[in-house]
Chains A and B, each alone.
Chain A
C-alpha cells in the first residue's frame, strides 16, 4: 500500500483514539466540579470540549514529540515501513486494550497503553536496545511519582486551606482574605504555564515572576474586592463553599486544559510519526509536529466529550455527592499543576492517576469521608499490567503487519 493510504489509516485510528480519550478520560477532568455541583453536566461538556481542544492544540506539542520519537531510538529504524506498521500496531493495541479493560472495569491509562504499544513493536523489531531506556525510566518514574506528588501536594494544600480559613477565630473574616489568596495562587501557576506553553518561554523564573505572580496578584485583588462587596453568607462554611464553587469552574477548566495538553499525544504521537515518514521519508525524524495534527487530536477529544462524555459526566454528577467545593478545588489545583509541569517537561503522565493521587491526598488529610480502597488497588495494579499487555498486543499486530505487508 502507498504511504498516503497508511497515513490516512493512522489518521483515522488516531482520531478514534482521541475520541475515546475524550469520551472517557476527559470527563474525569471535570468530574470534581460536576460532583461538587459547581456546574451542570451540560456546561461541563461545553467547557471541557473547548479547553481540551485548546490544551491539545496549543500545549500538546512537547509530549507529542516524546511519544513520536522519544521512546524508541529513531536511528535504529532503517525501514520506513517499520515506523508505519509500528505506529498502526501501537494505536490499535492501545485502543484494543482500552476496550478490553473498560469491559472489565479496569481503570487503565491511555498514556500507559500507548507507550506500552510503542515499546512493544520496537522490541519485536530490534530487541530491547532500541528502547530509549533513559527516557522510558523517566516516563515510568513520572507515572509513579506524579500520583505521589499529586497526593502530597493535595494533602498540604487542603491542610493549609482549612488551617487558614476554618481554624481561625473569625472564619468569615479569614475566608475573605484567604480565599482570594488561594485562588490567586492557582493563577500564579496558570500564568506561569501560559508563559511556558503559549509563549514558549524557556526560563521558569521569568515565567513565575513576569507572568504568574502578577496575574496571581491581579486575581487576588479582583477576588478580594468581589468577596468584600458581597460575602455569600454569614456562615463561613456556606460562604467559603459558595466562593470556591465559582472558582472551581476555573480550576476544573484548568484540569481540562492540562489534560488536553498531555493526553492528546497518546492519540496523535503515532500519527505524527507516520506523517513525518510520508512527507520526508526517514529523514522526517526532524520534521516538527504540524499544527493540523494537533488540531485533529484536539478535535477528536472534543468530539468524544460532546458525543459520549455527556453520559459519563451525568453519572459522575449523580454519584459523587461527597465532594465539597473546597475539596474539589484542592484536587483540581494539585492535579492540574502536576500534569502541566509534567507536560512542560515533555513527560507523558496519566491525568487520571494524578487526579486519583490528589483525591487520596485529600483523603489522607481526612478531608474525604470515604474512599474505596479496592479501586485504588485496581489502579495501582493497572500501572503494572498495562504497559506489558499493550506491548504484547502491539508486538503481535506488528509481527502480523510485517508478514502481510
Chain B
C-alpha cells in the first residue's frame, strides 16, 4: 500500500521558477544586443540576437513540459487555470524579447538621431527590470505557499507586483516619448527607419505589458 509515492504530485512551482530564469536570461541577452546596436557594433549584435532566439526556444520547451504535467487531476494550493495563464504570460515576455531581436536582425539602422537610440536603450534596461521582478514574484509566490499564505509574505508579494506595474508605467512613458521623437525627426529619418524603430519600441513595451499580465495572475493566485 504505497500510497505515499503516488499521493504527492510534483509541485509546478520549481519548474515555473526555472522557466522564469530562462525568460530573464532571454531579456538580459536582448539588452546586451541593444547595447551593441546602440554602439553600432552590428556584427556582434547579430550573434547575440540569435542567442535570444535560442533562449526563447528553451523557454518554450520548459513551458510545454509544465503544461503537460499540470493535469486537472491535481489538487493544488493555487488554481490550475491561474498557473497556466501565468505561465502563458511569463512565456510571452520571452516571446516579446524574441520579437525585438527579430526586428534587430531584419535590417541595419540608418543614421538615427542619438536621442531616439537612447530611448530604445532605456526601454531595454527597463524591460530587464520587469523580467527580474517577474522572477522575484514567482520565487516569492513559492515562499507564500511555503509559509501557508502568511500575511507578511503576501504583502511582500504585493510589493513586487506594484513594482512591476510601476516599471510598466515607465516603459509606457518611454514608448510615448519615442513616438513623439520619431515624428519630431521626420526630416532626419526615412519612412522605413520610423517604421523599424516604432516596431522595436512596440515589442519592447510588450515585454513589460506581459510582465504586468503575469503579475496580475499572481495576484489572483493569492486570492483563491
Q: Is A303 in contact with chain B by the CB < 8 A criterion?
A: no
Query: Given known contacts A28-B1, A167-B151, is B7 in contact with A369 (CB within 8 Å)?
Result: no
Name the CB-closest residue of B to A107: B3
A15–B29 alpha-carbon span in the complex (Å): 66
| Chain B nearest Cβ from A105, distance in angstroms | 8
Name the CB-closest residue of B to A365: B148
A366/B75 in contact, CB under 8 A: no
Interface with A: B8-16, B166-174, B202-210, which one? B8-16
Q: Is A54 in contact with chain B by the CB < 8 A criterion?
A: no
CB-CB under 8 A from A107, the residues of chain B are 1-3, 6
Q: Is B152 in contact with chain A by the CB < 8 A criterion?
A: yes
Q: Is B57 in contact with chain A by the CB < 8 A criterion?
A: no
| Interface mask (A170-190 → B, CB under 8 Å = 1, otherwise 0) | 010000000000000000000
CB-CB under 8 A from A162, the residues of chain B are 147-150
Name the CB-closest residue of B to A106: B1
B6/A372 in contact, CB under 8 A: yes
Count chain B residues whose beta carbon lies closer than 8 angstroms to a beta carbon of A: 30
A366/B4 in contact, CB under 8 A: no
Name the CB-closest residue of B to A109: B1
A166/B8 in contact, CB under 8 A: no
| Interface mask (A359-379 → B, CB under 8 Å = 1, otherwise 0) | 110010111111111111001
Instruction: Give residues of chain B (17-44) contacting chain A, Cβ–Cβ below 8 Å.
Output: none
Name the CB-closest residue of A to B78: A366
| Chain A nearest Cβ from B125, distance in angstroms | 32
CB-CB under 8 A from A366, the residues of chain B are 77-78, 145, 148-149, 224
Q: Is B65 in contact with chain A by the CB < 8 A criterion?
A: no
A162–B150 alpha-carbon span in the complex (Å): 7
A168–B125 alpha-carbon span in the complex (Å): 37
A109–B147 alpha-carbon span in the complex (Å): 33
Name the CB-closest residue of A to B75: A371
Query: Given known contacts A369-B13, A370-B12, is B77 in contact with A375 (CB within 8 Å)?
Result: no
A159–B150 alpha-carbon span in the complex (Å): 10
| Residue among B1, B5, B7, B13 with most chain A CB within 10 A | B1
CB-CB under 8 A from A323, the residues of chain B are 8
The residue from A169, A324, A360, A369 contacting B76, defined by CB atoms under 8 A apart: A369
A25/B147 in contact, CB under 8 A: no
A370–B78 alpha-carbon span in the complex (Å): 9
| Chain A nearest Cβ from B220, distance in angstroms | 14
B4/A322 in contact, CB under 8 A: no
B1/A373 in contact, CB under 8 A: no
Interface with B: A84-92, A207-215, A265-273, A311-319, which one? A311-319
| Chain B nearest Cβ from A323, distance in angstroms | 7
Using C-beta atoms within 8 Å of the partner chain, give the interface range for chain A: 35 or more
B146/A319 in contact, CB under 8 A: no
Name the CB-closest residue of A to B145: A369
Query: Given known contacts A322-B10, A367-B77, A373-B73, is B1 in contact with A316 (CB within 8 Å)?
Result: no
The residue from B4, B73, B145, B148 contacting A316, defined by CB atoms under 8 A apart: B4
CB-CB under 8 A from A373, the residues of chain B are 73-75
A372/B74 in contact, CB under 8 A: yes
Q: Is B51 in contact with chain A by the CB < 8 A criterion?
A: no
CB-CB under 8 A from B3, the residues of chain A are 28, 107, 352, 355-356, 375, 379
Q: Is A130 in contact with chain B by the CB < 8 A criterion?
A: no
Q: Is A108 in contact with chain B by the CB < 8 A criterion?
A: yes
Q: Is B82 in contact with chain A by the CB < 8 A criterion?
A: no
B8/A322 in contact, CB under 8 A: yes
A368–B4 alpha-carbon span in the complex (Å): 13
Instruction: Give residues of chain A (220-260) contacting chain B, Cβ–Cβ below 8 Å.
Output: 237
CB-CB under 8 A from B136, the residues of chain A are none
CB-CB under 8 A from A237, the residues of chain B are 143, 146-147
Q: Is A35 in contact with chain B by the CB < 8 A criterion?
A: yes
| Chain A nearest Cβ from B20, distance in angstroms | 16
A11–B2 alpha-carbon span in the complex (Å): 26
B8/A324 in contact, CB under 8 A: no
CB pairs A–B below 8 angstroms (11 shown): A28-B1, A31-B4, A168-B152, A368-B77, A370-B10, A371-B75, A372-B8, A372-B73, A375-B3, A375-B6, A376-B7
Question: Measuring CB to CB, which residues of chain A are less than 8 angstroms from any residue of chain B?
Answer: 24-25, 27-28, 31, 35, 98, 102, 105, 107-110, 158-159, 161-163, 166-169, 171, 237, 312, 315-316, 319-320, 322-324, 352, 355-356, 359-360, 363, 365-376, 379
